[in-house]
Amino acid sequence: MLRMPMRIHLLLWYHVGNGVIRFSLVEFCLVSGLTFGAYSESTLEIFKRKDSRLRRSYFQDSKVHVKMIIDWFRNLGPNNKYSDDDIVKLALILILEMTLVGKDDRTSILYWALELVDDLDAFNKFPWGSFLYDRTFNSLSTCLIDRDDKFKNKFIDKLKEKVDGPVKRKVERYNVYGFVAAFQVWAIEAISKWVTLGYAVRVNNVVPRILNWQCTETPTFVEIQKTIFKLKNLTIYKNLGLSDEEARKPYWMGTIVGFLLSNSWSTYGQENNLTSKTKTENPIEFK
For residue 282, what pLDDT is reported?
Answer: 55
The answer to whether the beta carbons of residues 21 and 238 sit under 8 Å apart is yes
Cα–Cα distance, 21 to 280 (Å, whole number): 9
Q: Would you say 40 and 28 are in contact if contact means Cβ atoms under 8 Å apart? A: no
Task: Return the pLDDT at 169.
Answer: 57
3-state secondary structure of 113: helix
From the CB of residue 103, how many other CB atoms can be counted at a distance below 10 Å?
A: 18
Query: Rounded to whole angstroms, how far apart are CA atoms 283 and 235?
Result: 14
| pLDDT (0 to 100) of residue 34 | 93
Q: What is the per-residue pLDDT for 270? A: 43
| Per-residue confidence in pLDDT tens, the chain, 287 aa | 545 565 555 789 998 888 899 999 889 999 999 988 888 887 787 777 777 899 999 998 678 999 999 999 999 988 899 999 999 999 999 999 999 999 888 899 999 999 999 999 999 999 999 999 999 999 998 887 776 666 556 555 555 555 555 655 555 677 889 999 999 999 999 999 999 999 999 999 999 999 999 999 888 888 888 889 888 888 899 889 889 999 899 888 876 554 554 444 444 444 333 333 455 555 444 33
Chain CA centroid to CA 215, Å: 15
Cα torsion through 264, 270, 275, 276, rounded to 10 = 20
Instruction: Give 239's strand partners.
Output: 281
Question: Do 105 and 70 form a contact (C-beta atoms < 8 A)?
Answer: yes
CA angle, residues 92, 97, 103, in degrees to nearest 5? 165
pLDDT at site 256: 55
pLDDT at 274: 35
Residue 245, pLDDT score = 93
Q: Which amino acid type is present at position 163?
A: V
Residue 68 pLDDT: 95
Angle at 272 (CA atoms; ends 174, 18), nearest 5 degrees: 70
Answer whether 120's CB lies under 8 Å from 89's CB.
yes
DSSP state of 127: -
Query: How long, in residues, is the chain?
Result: 287
**CB-based contact 187:43 (threshold 8 Å):** no
Which burial class, exposed, middle or buried, applies to 238 when counting CB atoms under 10 A from its CB (0-12, 13-18, 19+)?
Answer: buried
DSSP class of 98? I
In single-letter form, the type of residue at position 261 comes to L
